[in-house]
Structure 1
Amino acid sequence: MSTVILIMGEPGQGKTTSMRNLNPETTVYFDCDKKGLPWRGWRKQYSKEKENYFATSNAAAIAQEMKRIHEEKPQIKTIVVDTLNWIMIDDEFKRMKEKGYDKWLDLAYSVKALISLAKQLRDDITVLFTAHTQTEHDDSGYSFTRMKTSGKKLDKTSVESMFNTVLLAKCVDGRYLFETQARNSTARSPMGAFETFEIDNDIVEVIKVLEEF
């Protein structure tokens, strides 16, 4: 069974930048936002010609390529899906003229099915999903941050519950960090894996810790 990690956060908080130290020779990147990667020289590392970069938000296409990696590409150790939100938006736009509850059931199923498939890949693969967040406030001033979803069906199922590791990306005083445990959020990680609630946002170091855990 593969390792799956969710990295969530608001735009500009370091979700994508945390992938900067991944080895492009052993990584496949699904750029669902189709905006490119935020570090210098990324085009020399990732491209369609190298077969390690795909600008798509089509869940079926991503699932098909995941299966191909699992079966035919033993050199690939890391898969990035950035972001889950654009996969949801893609599905919404395709079915925007449809009415009724069924389309929201289908949307929830496609997201859950993609995450479930990711869990069934080879043991030596790590799948990194990213997602945007939303923060809710009540009248008492309490706030809570969770993954932003499309449709109440996904809200009820709680996408984060499908992951053992959910990291909250944030920038504090110019330092980009991951929150590893819940502090008014759905962040979580295996007990004892990380010594502190906040760590540097280098996903390579996170993967190393989880591999040794």
Structure 2
Amino acid sequence: MSRMILIMGESGSGKTTSMRNLNPKTTFYIDCDKKGLSWKGWRKQYNKENGNYWASSNADAITQTLVKISAEKPQIKTIVIDTLNWVMIDDEFKRMKEKGYDKWQDLAFSVKEMVAMGQQLREDITVIFTAHTQTERDDSGFAFTRMKTSGKKLDKISIESMFTTVLLAKCVDGKYLFETQSNSSTAKSPMGAFEEKEIENDITKVIKALEEF
């Protein structure tokens, strides 16, 4: 069973930038947003020529690619899927003219299957998904932050429940951080994996901590 990490946060909270220290030789980057990465020099690190970069938001194609990487690319130790929301949006736009409940069932199934496949890869692979968040407030003003989804069917599945590690990316006083435990959010991590509830925004340190856990 592969290791799974979900990084969620608002746009500009540092989700993509947290991947800056990953080793391009052992990383495969799936750019679902198709907007490129967010640090200087990334094009030399991740590109088609290096065979470690692919821009796609098709859930079924990504699922098949995960299987292929696990079986045929033993050098790959980390796979990044950035972001889940564009996979949902892509599927939703393809079905804009469809009526009825079935299209939402199909969307939920394809996203769930893609995430589930991430759990079934080689044991030495870490799969990192990123996603946008939404914050909801009740009548008393209490705010709760969770992953943003498309459709009530995905809300019922609760994508976060498929991960043991869910990090909330945020910027506090100009400093980019990961929240590792729930603080009015769905953030969580294995007990004892991290000493602090807020840690540096660097996914390589997260992976190391989880490997040593």
- The one-letter amino acid of 2:81's match is V
Alignment: residue pair count? 213
Quote the Cα distance in structure 1 between the aligned partners of 2:135 and 2:88: 19
In the alignment, structure 1 residue 60 sits paired with structure 2 residue 60? yes
- The one-letter amino acid of 1:103's match is K
> Where does 1:82-121 land on structure 2 (aligned, <5 Å)?
82-121=82-121
> Where does 1:152-167 land on structure 2 (aligned, <5 Å)?
152-167=152-167
TM-aligned CA deviation for residue 141 of structure 1: 1.3
Cα deviation per residue 1:13-71 (whole Å; 9 max; x = unaligned)?
00000000000000000000011001000000000121111111011111121111111
- The one-letter amino acid of 2:100's match is G
Quote the Cα distance in structure 2 between the aligned partners of 1:192 and 1:168: 18
User: Match for residue 3 of structure 1?
Assistant: 3
User: Match for residue 131 of structure 2?
Assistant: 131
Quote the Cα distance in structure 1 between the aligned partners of 2:198 and 2:36: 27
User: Match for residue 45 of structure 2?
Assistant: 45
Quote the Cα distance in structure 2 between the aligned partners of 1:53 and 1:155: 30
TM-aligned CA deviation for residue 139 of structure 1: 2.0
User: Match for residue 14 of structure 2?
Assistant: 14
- The one-letter amino acid of 1:200's match is E
Quote the Cα distance in structure 2 between the aligned partners of 1:182 and 1:68: 35
What TM-score, normalized to structure 2? Answer: 0.99
Quote the Cα distance in structure 2 between the aligned partners of 1:72 and 1:153: 34
Quote the Cα distance in structure 2 between the aligned partners of 1:97 and 1:50: 39
- The one-letter amino acid of 1:174's match is G
- The one-letter amino acid of 1:166's match is V
> Where does 1:24-39 land on structure 2 (aligned, <5 Å)?
24-39=24-39
Unaligned runs of 5+ in 1: none
Quote the Cα distance in structure 1 between the aligned partners of 2:66 and 2:50: 16
Quote the Cα distance in structure 1 between the aligned partners of 2:158 and 2:72: 32
What TM-score, normalized to structure 1? Answer: 0.99
SS at match of 2:7: strand
Unaligned runs of 5+ in 2: none
Quote the Cα distance in structure 1 between the aligned partners of 2:126 and 2:50: 20
Quote the Cα distance in structure 2 between the aligned partners of 1:37 and 1:160: 24
C-alpha RMSD of the superposition: 0.6
SS at match of 2:88: helix
Quote the Cα distance in structure 2 between the aligned partners of 1:126 and 1:53: 16
User: Match for residue 187 of structure 1?
Assistant: 187
SS at match of 1:25: helix
Question: Which 4+ stretches in 1 moved above 4 angstroms?
Answer: none
Quote the Cα distance in structure 2 between the aligned partners of 1:51 and 1:68: 13
Quote the Cα distance in structure 2 between the aligned partners of 1:25 and 1:61: 22
- The one-letter amino acid of 1:130's match is T
TM-aligned CA deviation for residue 130 of structure 1: 0.2
SS at match of 1:144: strand
Cα deviation per residue 1:77-104 (whole Å; 9 max; x = unaligned)?
0000000000000000111100110110
Quote the Cα distance in structure 2 between the aligned partners of 1:4 and 1:67: 15
Cα deviation per residue 1:89-124 (whole Å; 9 max; x = unaligned)?
000011110011011011111111011101000000
